[in-house]
């Protein structure tokens, strides 16, 4: 799958209907998600056929993208039932069979049966770091207290390896 095709598909993924400030819910844009996943897949060969964890998966854009890139199985973990319901609808609309959802907080994840079996772990890009590949994230106003329509934020793509 080409980068533009992946991004186009990810534009169809529904995001948060009512993001929760206490959970700092910000959707990963289709552009950033596609760039991250395309790099992970094509540069590092860390998606196709792999068991992939999506930590703080939200509505599932990264999981869905990984599934489209032929992950063996992508498991999304999130604490929010509302986000997981949107994720479930999204995966059903794409007719994906290689995704699974688990409702939990990250603190309890280490005791989960899946915890030590993942080949690849993905999550939203960190904000405010100064390493590796830089991306731009046009963060739209998501909450009532946001005064600007959107803010352009630098984000970085980080890869950690145990080998």
Q: Which residue has the tokens 């993942």?
A: 118
- Confidence tier at 145 by pLDDT (50, 70, 90): confident
The answer to whether residue 118 scores a pLDDT higher than 70 is yes
Q: Using 50, 70 and 90 to split pLDDT, how confident is the model at 143?
A: confident
Query: What strand order describes the sheet that includes 99-103?
Result: 99-103, 73-78, 51-55, 120-123
The answer to whether the beta carbons of residues 30 and 7 sit under 8 Å apart is: yes
Structure tokens at 95: 């007719």
As a whole number of angstroms, the distance between CA 61 and CA 76 comes to 10
Entry pTM: 0.79
pLDDT band at 94; cut points 50, 70, 90: very high
Q: Looking at 70-84, 97-111, 123-137, which range is the least confident one?
A: 123-137
- Lowest-pLDDT range, 20-34, 36-50, 58-72, 145-159? 145-159
How much of the chain exceeds pLDDT 70, in percent? Answer: 77
- CA atoms of 34 and 28, how far apart (whole Å): 10
Token reading at 119: 């080949």
* pLDDT score for 16: 92
Q: Any residues with CB less than 8 A from the CB of 118 and at least 6 apart, and which? A: 51, 52, 53, 75
């Amino acid at each position: 799958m080409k980068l533009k095709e992946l991004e186009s598909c990810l534009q169809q993924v529904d995001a948060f209907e009512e993001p929760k400030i206490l959970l700092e819910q910000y959707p990963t844009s289709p552009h950033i998600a596609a760039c991250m996943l395309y790099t992970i897949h094509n540069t590092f060969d860390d998606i196709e056929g792999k068991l992939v964890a999506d930590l703080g998966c939200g509505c599932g854009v990264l999981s869905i993208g990984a599934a489209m890139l032929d992950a063996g199985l992508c498991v999304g973990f999130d604490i929010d039932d509302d986000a997981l319901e949107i994720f479930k609808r999204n995966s059903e609309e794409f007719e994906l069979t290689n995704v699974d959802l688990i409702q939990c907080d990250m603190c309890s994840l280490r005791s989960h049966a899946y915890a030590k079996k993942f080949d690849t772990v993905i999550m939203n890009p960190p904000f405010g770091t100064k390493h590796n590949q830089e991306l731009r994230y046009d963060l739209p106003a998501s909450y009532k207290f946001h005064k600007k329509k959107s803010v352009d934020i630098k984000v970085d793509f980080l890869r950690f390896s145990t080998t």
